[in-house]
Amino acid sequence: MKESIIKVKGMVCGGCENRVKNALSEIEGVENVEASFETGIVKVTADEKVEKKILEDTIDDIGFEVVKED
């Protein structure tokens, strides 16, 4: 298992957190998702085979913006 931490813009409430959690939980290999609109942080625990890009693309697809780390 590995943990990915993703910074997300656009989550403004608990409903937003739930949308992100539900979308990421649908991905095969994802074990746990924690999302906080207060910090803008999403933590995902998943199998090694789950690429961070897939997680980020899923977040983008449901209307939130992934903040890319330089």
Residues 68, 19 contacting (CB under 8 angstroms) = no
pLDDT of residue 21: 98
Residue in the block written with tokens 């997680």: 55
Query: Do residues 23 and 58 touch, judged by C-beta distance below 8 A?
Result: yes
Q: What is the pLDDT of residues 21-30, one digit of tens each?
A: 999 999 999 9
Domain ranges of the chain: 2-67
Phi, psi of 31 (to 5 degrees): -95, -40
pLDDT at 19 (0 to 100):
98
Chunked mean pLDDT (size 10), the chain, 70 residues: 97 97 98 98 97 97 89
Say which CATH topology domain 2-67 has: Alpha-Beta Plaits (3.30.70)
Query: Which of 69, 68, 70, 62 has the alpha carbon at shortest distance from 33?
Result: 62
Q: What pLDDT shows up at residue 70?
A: 58
